Amino acid sequence: MNVKNNRRKRDSMARITKVFLELVQEKEIGRISVTEICQKAGLNRATFYANYEDIYDLADKVMEDLSEQVNDIYRDELTVGYNSNDYAKLFRHIKQNQLFYRTCFKLGIANRPIVQYDTDQARKFFHNRDIPYHAEFFRAGLNRIIKMWLEGGCPPVC
């Protein structure tokens, strides 16, 4: 494998993603074309199709990337099975990647959890009762707080 080509591929994918994130802020995903992305990214359509099936595949990859980045924030905790409930790490990541998170909300992140609900901790504190309700309350509440904070420009809190 040629390292130079790997770098070129990563750079091309990053340019495509950047343009996509910008365009999603301006219009609905169904109104974005591969041609438009390629023109703004300075790439040809073959480069796009070498990496993605279509716009929706690109959107899915953006969402997968977000999930992976959030998992990386808490990787040490996940590895040892410890939950610090330290959401400051998450909010720092959100502030540094506002466009990315705004895009994910536009693409429907409200239907996907940003962080995993700790069912073991919930079972301990709620005696294994109504866990699906607690999980949904947590997911919806956290997503709404993040969305409000993003809409306000991520101002410092306390």
- Of 34-38, 135-139, 151-155, the poorest mean pLDDT is in 135-139
Residues 68 and 38 in one domain: no
Domain of 146, in residue numbers: 62-158
**What per-residue confidence (pLDDT) applies to 54?**
96
Q: What is the CATH number of the domain that holds 37?
A: 1.10.10
Residues 46 and 87 in one domain: no
Residues 157 and 92 in one domain: yes
Residues 117 and 140 in one domain: yes
| Last residue within a domain, chosen from 52, 71, 93 | 52
**What per-residue confidence (pLDDT) applies to 45?**
96
For the chain, the maximum distance between any two Cα atoms, rounded to a whole number of angstroms, is 57
Which has the closest alpha carbon to 48: 94, 7, 16? Answer: 16
What secondary structure does DSSP assign to 38-49, as a single string? HHHHT--HHHHH
- Of 25-34, 83-92, 105-114, the poorest mean pLDDT is in 105-114
What is the Cα–Cα distance from 149 to 158, expressed in whole angstroms? Answer: 13
Q: What is the tally of structural domains in the chain?
A: 2
What is the Cα–Cα distance from 149 to 143, expressed in whole angstroms? Answer: 10
Residues 84 and 24 in one domain: no
Residues 69 and 44 in one domain: no
Residues 28 and 97 in one domain: no
pLDDT tens profile 29-79 = 999 999 999 999 999 999 999 999 999 999 989 888 877 887 788 787 767
* pTM assigned to the model: 0.70
Half-sphere exposure of 91 (CA within 13 A, CB side): 16
